[in-house]
Structure 1
Amino acid sequence: MIKKTAFALLVFITSQASQAQYKYPATPERPVVEDYFGTKITDSYRWLEDMNNPEVQKWFKDESDYTNSIVKTISGRDALFNRMKEIQALSGDQYGTIRQVGDIYYYTKNKKKENIYKLYFRKNRNGAEILLLDPSTITKGATITSFNISPDNKKLAVTISEDGAEVCDLKIMDLESKKFLSDKLTPVWSEFPFEFTPDSKAITYTQMVTRNNTSDDFLKNMKSLIHVIGTDPKTDKILASKENNPELEILAAQFPSVKLPDDYSYVILDIGSTKNEEFSFYAPFSELGKSKINWKPLIKYEDEITDSQIIGDKIFFLTHKNTPNYKLAYTSLKNPDFNNPTILVPESNKIVRRLRKSKNFIYYNLSDGINQEIFQLNAKTLEIKKIPIPAGSNAGYPLSPRYNDDLMLFNNGWVTPSTDYDYNGLTGKLEKSKELTSNGTFPDFSKDYVVKEIEVPSHDGVMVPLSIIYPKNIKMDGSTSCFITGYGAYGISQYPYFVGPSLMTLLEQHTIVAFTHIRGGGEKGNQWHVDGMKAKKPNTWKDFIACSEYLIKEKYTSKEKLIGNGVSMGGVLIGRAITERPDLYKVALVEVGCTNTLRMETTPNGPNQIPEIGSLKNEEDVKHILEMDSQSKVKKGVKYPAVLIRTGINDPRVTPWEPGKFAAILQNSTSSDNPVLLHVNYANGHHSNDLDVTFGDEADMYAFALWQVGNTKFQIKP
């Protein structure tokens, strides 16, 4: 049982050495003691969790203003931002999502020197380009998060987000007139699917209860609906929900969504969560017209299936059941038997990942953790062949999976901008893309930078992959600054990709960039993920620490030059790295980070994290959540590194008070002369689709870090 005691006494900050130099906004301590199954934890900053409180709002604004008064005056900060823009412009026009309907191509594109993606279309690949939607004309700060085209090619469905909030309006446009219809489906989450019915008269989507990210109902009790275009959304029929379908045992934090297989024989209901494994039901397509669908079980969690695709009456799937490196198999959709499927790709020393489909083929990757080969499987003959794309980190997606076998493929490297390829699965023709691909020209970065892929022994002897990118002219004497980052959660793999304008700009400042492939990710298969979650979560930051120590030992860098970084769930990683080893890093950059895992479950997005970190209702889980919690590990009088903590005020994933509380306790506790700053962006959420907002945040962070590691170009202006 968890017990809570609040002290009425107001305890103010005790002076620390750092306060003589940095006059942070006053942050009173108002202790609350909580008993976690016998372990008592004092939280002196619980009051900051009330984001609707004017006192809290003022505190965030004061912290933001104070940080800006320092960071914006660092010499070189503006040069970083401008250089990011220059490198972005070198790439030329950048294409986002491309969808093909007949001979019409619809796509989002960020034109050279612009800051947001707009939606265009053209007839045939080389046809004249026509602007369809500029989201900035809808409202300031608006961006496109996703879109879909109706089968009859007459309607556009598009989700629009504002200021990085990720909670969207789903709007429908008549393509002939280019005008929006009166239908507005809201609120919907930016990543949830929506799909037109085959007659183009209706659309399936998932609706949230509220768009207010401070509400207890945020990201809970969602409904899968079908909307008949032209009718009042209030009359939309529920396809599945916790309330409407108690027999499905949907949890409040799970989100139901519907997808329609290519031939419209069935309707598939996915029950989404942060779990990698799928949980789904199905029904004949005819059920879509009934008042209530009779859903039948399809995939269960215990099947340990992480991806599935349907072609005809076959369901192809990836599973790690008794095969940590995964296997690819299929079973009949008419009578599915996941315990006795037909094995198509057995487990090997390479990881089977990234299942995709086109009209007639299934595509998958074989990965060694860094390089990825792409293979094509004929859904009818079951013949497999390797696609002859150059070696590297390869990815791609189909342009019109329901109607043809055309794919866009991408060949990537850390310092090599993506090379795009057009591939037709039916003919096997592979050629470099000439249309719908970047028209920019980058210099040959490989002439100036070295990429090393190595493995480093961790605290327990396990070998951890580490990617190191560095300028060729560095001296291996510990004098070079180094930016080291990692994630280590949800089984997500950090495959090589072009580091892009921001990190390339950092490399140009004679700084090493290192990517850690730590446990909790998926680079080495499912067991690599399991070994970095819940009870084994300490492996994540201990792997990170081991990689950091390696770089110092081998004199790539030194403690006085090392910059640690973690983003989102990577906040556990960087937060615990600097609380366990505050001596190891000169700078820590904590971006929208999970640093208060003890309180995450109380946040709107918190219950979604239970599969990954555990629940406070479980005594055994609490032990591990306590170990992950960075805030409670901060001790007064310890010399912590310089820390810049970034949050977006509209963040729906990691509520802003979590990074805010971490900044508060560090400011009030550190005995070093290193600054601790809270960077609050009021035009951002967890991230932004506006490049000017993104580059601005990154220029602030990197300028701060380079200032602190002693780069003479980055100093506080007098």
Structure 2
Amino acid sequence: MTVASLVDVENQCPVPVCSPAARRDEDCVETHHGEMVADPYRWLEDPRSSETAEFIDAQARFAQEYLDQQQERPRFKDLLTSLEDYEYRSAPSRHGDYYYFSGNSGLQAKSIVYQQSSFDTEPVVFIDPNTFSESGNVSLAGYPFSPDGTVAAVVLTENGSDWRSVRLMRADRPGELGPVEITGLKFNSPYWTRDNQGFFYTRYMDPAKANLDGQTTESSTHGTIYYHRVGTPQTQDQLIYAEPDQPNLLHSVVLSDDDDQRFLLLYSCQGASNSHRVMVWDRSTENGTIQSPVFRPIISDFKCAYKFISAHGPCLYFITQLDAPRWRIVKYDVDQPADGFQNVIPQHPTDILKAAAIAYHQYLVVLYQRHAVGQLSLHDRETGKCLGTIRVPSSSISGILCKRRFPTFYFAAASSLRPVQLLQYTFPEAEPPALTPEVYFTGLSKCNFDPSKYETRQVFYPSYDGTLIPLFVTCRRDLVLDGSHPAILYAYGGFGSSVSPGYNISRLAFMLAFDGVIVVAGIRGGGEYGQTWHDAGKGHSKQTCFDDFQAAAQWLVAQGYTCPRLLAIRGASNGGLLVGACINQRPDLFGAAIPEVGVHDMLRFHRFTIGHAWTSEYGDPNDATDFAYIRRYSPLHNIQTSRPYPAILLLTADHDNRVSPLHSFKFAAALQHAVAKSSPGSTRAQPILLKVGRNSGHGGPTTIQKSIDYEVDVLCFLALVLQQSVQKTSPMEVIPDN
């Protein structure tokens, strides 16, 4: 009997058969600080074993049989395709004799990089990632140019892996990748030297010895800075900096973008805490060479975060949290080190400073965030004086592109209901007048729905301790709050990262297909209100994240937006941990849960890939006090058998070498076992499904078509478990081309 043949006649709800059984190794027990902890699915930590492959295949068959019960799959695909089908274009950037921009006509598998000699000439294809491989699994991660614009360092990834490689491409030979390949990069891109002869990069493993296929779980340590000279093999690259006795430090280099490219900055970071040490080599002195720079520390204590903005003359500009939990801008005069850091723009009384850039020589373009909503302002570079605010009708601002020699800068703005819009601002000859940007490019979705009938509301709900948490709710303007509508709640709550409502086709499709409600919560642990907000949800305060999220669910029900049976929750990465912990603690609050590429084994996360860097966020399981706290919420180790779980769809990827899929494998197997044990022989429990993305990584599928198929599965799952049919008034038709 197949899954598709089983239907709950009374409720017209699909009923799954029992999940595939995974072998349990009852002898696998590990002692942590005197506590014996069973780990019966430890064998799933080996991604290359035949038994793990069989487990993945069995889970795939079970999940697909269940999802194939949904008859609306073709309509979901049409809806998602129409929402995705809008033209996209990035801001233009000048390099040497040409302008470059990336663009997508709508449904191209990957965006293409174009080259043009002037804005009046027809663009030509410079880099087309769609031609890199027949499978479409090779993607473009960047293409930094040499200072003279004659050569681009084309950064490639395969199967969505964090591992990167570099090939060179000449500006006068579009589409031709050079023969030399530089491998072993991770999390960073090359920085060219001013003489155009080579670049610096960070690598984490010896390319001759490492397995860089993206499926390894080996810890990424010993980040090392190298210099590569154009025209030579990687084996001749020059070692620039390493700290063998500190293998977990993360190192990167930044070259200042002033005309003289005077400074080379060496960043070292303790884990993911954004606590930095910064050293600088001043190329204007006689000490050192490109192959052997002489660094001197300007920040050596790892006490807080510093983000380099740019240099002007002898001054280095930084955004920092030094004595400023909401961030401020400071400058450091390399020629007058005794003066230390001088304020340029002090900490704002309420708003969070998120980013800044030097523009047109004398200005600072500054991105603030007020209650998780982006705001742009202009400041005098020297004095920090605010010259005005740029009016942007949007909640999400990103991608500020400034060039100090050009009077125009660009930035992207988005909302829950409209695709990204590219805006531009041009500095006038005199003092800036009313600061109103111009639209440079707008992509319009071909989905036939009227955004004016919907709205995004920002509200503030009380958490368990009375703290008000920002919440964005997107739904139909005339929605009746009677608890009858499905809702999907998303949050992240970690690493100081803020969330705001942007254009997301999966959430939009959920709203349009089911007359649903989209909810984004800015819970503690994120960066919505600066370092204090982050600290309130990390380390031994991590439970606060889960409490905030559960309070959001309760508030939505109390206000009549939805009810527990119709409330789905979704989160990715650290957000996957959030979802996993919350379904253990309060399964009664939710009707469905989608933990995506989540961190679920919190007792062993530090042993795999880049997990050691997260101890600054979660604590170190090797420390007895940290272990005791982490043990209380680790999703894998707190599975319940006394209360029924909501329907669960775990999503992961076979080439995710940031959060290894082993986390989802073990959590899925343990959940399925616990549910089967608590309800032996029952076929009425909610489904627990695991889907493993093939040839994809932490960021999800690598092409637009694969992304659409991925989200079709999500909509099928939600339609089945929330018992939703497509609304008769839903705009499921595509606008025809003229």
TM-score calculated relative to the size of structure 1: 0.90
Per the alignment, residue 680 of structure 1 pairs with 692
Does the alignment pair 1:375 with 2:370? no
Per the alignment, residue 241 of structure 1 pairs with 242
What is the rounded CA distance, in whole Å, between the counterparts of 1:357 and 1:503 in structure 2? 36
Q: Kindly tell me: are residues 383 and 204 of structure 1, through their superposed partners in 2, closer, same or farther at Cα, counting changes over 3 Å?
A: same
Per the alignment, residue 248 of structure 2 pairs with 252
Q: Give the deviation of 1:570 after TM superposition.
A: 0.8
What is the rounded CA distance, in whole Å, between the counterparts of 1:301 and 1:532 in structure 2? 24
Does the alignment pair 1:294 with 2:294? yes
Counterpart mapping for 1:447-458 below 5 A? 447-458=452-463
Does the alignment pair 1:166 with 2:166? no
Does the alignment pair 1:620 with 2:616? no
Contact 1:100 1:400 in 2 (8 A): no
Q: Give the deviation of 1:703 after TM superposition.
A: 1.5
Q: Kindly tell me: are residues 635 and 173 of structure 1, through their superposed partners in 2, closer, same or farther at Cα, counting changes over 3 Å?
A: same
Alignment deviations for residues 615-652 of structure 1 (CA, whole Å, 9 cap, x no partner)? 12212211222133101000335311100000110111
Counterpart mapping for 1:193-592 below 5 A? 193-209=189-205, 210=210, 211-215=212-216, 217-243=218-244, 250-262=246-258, 263-272=260-269, 273-285=271-283, 289=289, 292-312=292-312, 313-336=314-337, 341-358=342-359, 360=361, 361-380=363-382, 382-393=384-395, 395-397=397-399, 399=401, 401=403, 403-425=405-427, 427=429, 428=432, 438=443, 445-497=450-502, 499-509=503-513, 510-592=515-597
* SS of alignment partner, residue 126 of structure 2: strand
Does the alignment pair 1:23 with 2:25? no
Q: Give the deviation of 1:369 after TM superposition.
A: 2.0
What is the rounded CA distance, in whole Å, between the counterparts of 1:56 and 1:326 in structure 2? 46
Counterpart mapping for 1:593-604 below 5 A? 593-604=598-609
Q: Kindly tell me: are residues 394 and 515 of structure 1, through their superposed partners in 2, closer, same or farther at Cα, counting changes over 3 Å?
A: closer
For 2:577, the aligned partner's letter is V
Q: Kindly tell me: are residues 528 and 33 of structure 1, through their superposed partners in 2, closer, same or farther at Cα, counting changes over 3 Å?
A: same
Contact 2:391 2:436 in 1 (8 A): no
Contact 2:421 2:441 in 1 (8 A): no
What is the rounded CA distance, in whole Å, between the counterparts of 1:528 and 1:297 in structure 2? 30
Q: Kindly tell me: are residues 58 and 553 of structure 1, through their superposed partners in 2, closer, same or farther at Cα, counting changes over 3 Å?
A: same
Alignment deviations for residues 443-496 of structure 1 (CA, whole Å, 9 cap, x no partner)? 774422132211111111111111111123433221110100100011001123
For 1:692, the aligned partner's letter is Q
* SS of alignment partner, residue 598 of structure 1: coil
* SS of alignment partner, residue 508 of structure 1: helix
Per the alignment, residue 10 of structure 2 pairs with none
Q: Kindly tell me: are residues 251 and 337 of structure 1, through their superposed partners in 2, closer, same or farther at Cα, counting changes over 3 Å?
A: farther
Gaps spanning 5+ residues in structure 2: where? 1-12, 728-738
For 2:153, the aligned partner's letter is A
Per the alignment, residue 74 of structure 2 pairs with 78
Higher mean C-alpha displacement, 191-200 vs 410-419: 410-419
What is the rounded CA distance, in whole Å, between the counterparts of 1:354 and 1:291 in structure 2? 32
Contact 1:303 1:338 in 2 (8 A): no
Per the alignment, residue 723 of structure 2 pairs with 710
* SS of alignment partner, residue 483 of structure 1: strand
Q: Give the deviation of 1:405 after TM superposition.
A: 4.5
What is the rounded CA distance, in whole Å, between the counterparts of 1:524 and 1:398 in structure 2? 21
Q: Give the deviation of 1:161 after TM superposition.
A: 1.5
What is the rounded CA distance, in whole Å, between the counterparts of 1:241 and 1:370 in structure 2? 38
What is the rounded CA distance, in whole Å, between the counterparts of 2:633 and 2:71 in structure 1? 36
Does the alignment pair 1:107 with 2:104? no
What is the rounded CA distance, in whole Å, between the counterparts of 1:337 and 1:673 in structure 2? 68
Q: Kindly tell me: are residues 217 and 271 of structure 1, through their superposed partners in 2, closer, same or farther at Cα, counting changes over 3 Å?
A: farther
Per the alignment, residue 183 of structure 2 pairs with 186
Alignment partner for residue 127 of structure 1, among 104, 121, 124?
121
Contact 1:193 1:257 in 2 (8 A): no
Contact 2:162 2:214 in 1 (8 A): no
Contact 2:219 2:610 in 1 (8 A): yes
What is the rounded CA distance, in whole Å, between the counterparts of 2:275 and 2:378 in structure 1? 23
Q: Give the deviation of 1:357 after TM superposition.
A: 2.8
Q: Give the deviation of 1:700 after TM superposition.
A: 0.6
For 1:25, the aligned partner's letter is P
Q: Give the deviation of 1:44 after TM superposition.
A: 1.8
For 1:706, the aligned partner's letter is A
What is the rounded CA distance, in whole Å, between the counterparts of 1:661 and 1:152 in structure 2? 51
TM-score calculated relative to the size of structure 2: 0.88
Per the alignment, residue 735 of structure 2 pairs with none
Q: Give the deviation of 1:661 after TM superposition.
A: 0.8
Does the alignment pair 1:52 with 2:22? no
What is the rounded CA distance, in whole Å, between the counterparts of 2:251 and 2:278 in structure 1? 11
Per the alignment, residue 15 of structure 1 pairs with none
What is the rounded CA distance, in whole Å, between the counterparts of 1:212 and 1:79 in structure 2? 36
Contact 2:310 2:357 in 1 (8 A): no
Per the alignment, residue 9 of structure 1 pairs with none
When the two structures are aligned, how many residues end up with a matched partner?
689
* SS of alignment partner, residue 363 of structure 1: strand
Q: Give the deviation of 1:156 after TM superposition.
A: 1.5
Alignment deviations for residues 95-132 of structure 1 (CA, whole Å, 9 cap, x no partner)? 24643225622122222221211211112234311011
Q: Kindly tell me: are residues 426 and 472 of structure 1, through their superposed partners in 2, closer, same or farther at Cα, counting changes over 3 Å?
A: closer
What is the rounded CA distance, in whole Å, between the counterparts of 1:20 and 1:69 in structure 2? 11
Higher mean C-alpha displacement, 346-355 vs 457-466: 346-355
What is the rounded CA distance, in whole Å, between the counterparts of 1:254 and 1:545 in structure 2? 34
Higher mean C-alpha displacement, 297-306 vs 128-137: 297-306
What is the rounded CA distance, in whole Å, between the counterparts of 2:704 and 2:178 in structure 1? 29
Contact 1:317 1:330 in 2 (8 A): yes
Q: Give the deviation of 1:267 after TM superposition.
A: 0.9
Q: Give the deviation of 1:654 after TM superposition.
A: 0.9
* SS of alignment partner, residue 597 of structure 1: coil
Contact 1:330 1:344 in 2 (8 A): no
What is the rounded CA distance, in whole Å, between the counterparts of 2:656 and 2:91 in structure 1? 24
What is the rounded CA distance, in whole Å, between the counterparts of 1:453 and 1:207 in structure 2? 43
Higher mean C-alpha displacement, 352-361 vs 427-436: 427-436
What is the rounded CA distance, in whole Å, between the counterparts of 1:382 and 1:75 in structure 2? 59
Counting aligned pairs with the same residue, the percent is 20
* SS of alignment partner, residue 466 of structure 1: strand
Q: Give the deviation of 1:421 after TM superposition.
A: 1.6
Contact 1:308 1:355 in 2 (8 A): no
What is the rounded CA distance, in whole Å, between the counterparts of 1:421 and 1:431 in structure 2? 10
* SS of alignment partner, residue 588 of structure 2: coil
Alignment deviations for residues 148-185 of structure 1 (CA, whole Å, 9 cap, x no partner)? 12222211211112221232221101221232222211
Q: Give the deviation of 1:435 after TM superposition.
A: 5.2
Contact 1:99 1:400 in 2 (8 A): no
* SS of alignment partner, residue 718 of structure 2: helix
Q: Give the deviation of 1:310 after TM superposition.
A: 2.6
Q: Kindly tell me: are residues 71 and 334 of structure 1, through their superposed partners in 2, closer, same or farther at Cα, counting changes over 3 Å?
A: farther
Does the alignment pair 1:68 with 2:93? no
Alignment deviations for residues 244-265 of structure 1 (CA, whole Å, 9 cap, x no partner)? xx6xxx4335233343442221
